[in-house]
Amino acid sequence: MQQTNENALKTDFTKIFINGQWRKGASDSNMENTNPFTGETLFEISAANNDDLDEAYQAAKIAQKEWAKTPALQRQGLIEQFLKVMYEEKETIIDWLIKESGSTRIKAEGEFLASVLIVKEAATFPLRMHGEIRPSVVPGKENRIYRKALGVIGVISPWNFPFHLAIRSIATAIAIGNAVVVKPATDTPVSGGLIFASLFEKAGLPKGVLNVIVGRGSEIGDSIVEHPVPRLISFTGSTEVGRHIGELAGKHLKKTALELGGNNVFVVLDDADLDRAVESAVYSKFYHQGQICMSTNRILVADSIHDEFVEKYVARVKELQFGDPSKDRTQVGPLINQSQVDRIMEEIEKTKAAGATVRVGGEANGNVIAPTVVTGVTNDMPLAKNEIFGPVAVIIPFKDDEHAIELANSLPYGLSGAVHGSSIERATEFALQVETGMIHINDQSVNDEPHMPFGGEKDSGLGRFNGEWVLEEFSTVQWVSVMHERRQYKPFFE
């Protein structure tokens, strides 16, 4: 039941949140929220329809005008208060991440910490909305450039890191002076959406600045993009859906911030520290079951060290604990749903049929796939050419650096990656030739820092999150010129 204490966090998540009010969605259909490990139904919610969506956007449009006028220090104070509420409700947030998204406790703790850093960065944005004064080619004139909030931003959040990947858009947008309408993924309506309504409500955010609607993509998915109110759509998810959103937004001349799929390479050069590389490659493949856009998809290893690397890697993977995500030491938990399990198991079988060998794992129990390593893989096999998004590592040998770069760049993705080698200069030269938005030397591929540009190239997305880059994405500039003396319009009036 919903808590009655005025200062307590609202925990009845069977309702959507529009203009400061918790209410039932107006759709005829209900949506079931399920624990991916136990299969337990957590609750049912009446879905939102297009009327709800329109009401949310209209409320946001009205609220944003006043919110944008709010002094910068007050907006900063609100974000700081939100951070305080986050700390107060840490266990609630972690509990929802575990039971709704299948996060292990280790991953949920890490996601919370990453979100804290994002919010701390967002709290600096109100005082970073600076403009410029530039000279004019016209005598007696002054050019002013004002940075302003965009208006209303639509956020479509994913299910894999639902809290972190939603808050990086929500907190940023609100700090800058925008209003927000959030549609969370259907698998994670709380941790990717409704919990923010509760947290910001407790923090004292004015009504209408944040609205959260839970609905089916088939019913409101296109409408959230095509509605005339939002100026930007922020989406994190698959390349297929992102491309569709980009097409819809482009038709209506809307901005987009799209973080999409990846097929990230982890490259082990012939001079790499093998133990260090193995440890990094295990983490970047199996953290959160590999359900991360930055997860390593292909491990490329130099021929001369391939066999030794495989031996060490397989031994380390066999030590991973998998199963119940609520247990403290579980390292690999369940996938989000059965369809993801079925898809990955089918690709394992197809890759085996093409000549690859499963060295460990390869079995599923419910939504849990045992940590799996596959060798004898080539770049054209299903597990290599498709984004796995699960706990399956594929290892591919390469002849030399040029061959590795060719393998890395042969697929249409470019989000993250890693290169291991003892020569920093050689590894850096290699990294600069990889067509990717982010790449890390002697580290793993799952990196995100709140002040560094986060985003991809090619089919991995458009735009950048974090720091001044997201500030640029979520705001606009206006040129205002000022004539300080009477202008002579010659020869027009001669």
For residues 333-350, average pLDDT: 98
Residue 201 annotated in active site: no
Per-residue confidence (pLDDT) for residue 7, from 0 to 100: 64
- For residue 89, pLDDT beyond 70: yes
Per-residue confidence (pLDDT) for residue 6, from 0 to 100: 55
Q: Which residue in this structure is represented by tokens 């690859």?
A: 356
For residues 253-258, average pLDDT: 97
Per-residue confidence (pLDDT) for residue 271, from 0 to 100: 97
- For residue 1, pLDDT beyond 90: no
Q: How many C-beta atoms lie closer than 10 Å to residue 201's C-beta?
A: 17
- Say what angle helices 306-317 and 274-286 make with each other, to 10 degrees: 50
Kindly list the domain boundaries of the chain, sorted by start residue. Answer: 16-260+460-479, 264-441
pLDDT tens, 28-52?
999 999 999 999 999 999 999 999 9
pLDDT tens, 289-315?
999 999 999 999 999 999 999 999 999
Q: End-to-end CA distance of the chain, in Å?
A: 79
The domain over range 264-441 is classified in CATH as 3.40.140.10: no
- Nearest CA-CA partner of 248 in 224, 269, 264: 224
- Nearest CA-CA partner of 233 in 323, 126, 147, 156: 156
- For residue 407, pLDDT beyond 60: yes
pLDDT tens, 421-458?
999 999 999 999 999 999 999 999 999 999 999 999 99
Indicate the SS3 state at residue 292: coil
Q: Where does the pLDDT of residue 491 fall: very low under 50, low under 70, confident under 90, or very high at 90 and above?
A: confident
CATH of domain 16-260+460-479: 3.40.605.10
Q: Kindly tell me the sign of the dihedral angle through the C-alpha atoms of 369, 372, 377, 378.
A: positive
For residue 228, whether the previous peptide bond is cis, meaning omega lies within 30 degrees of 0, is: no
List beta partners, residue 393. 373
CA distance 274 to 282: 12
Catalytically annotated residue among 259, 347, 387, 435:
259
For residues 196-222, average pLDDT: 96
- Say what angle helices 72-88 and 162-176 make with each other, to 10 degrees: 160
Q: Where does the pLDDT of residue 139 fall: very low under 50, low under 70, confident under 90, or very high at 90 and above?
A: very high
In 420-484, where does DSSP find H-type helix?
424-432, 467-473
pTM of the model: 0.94
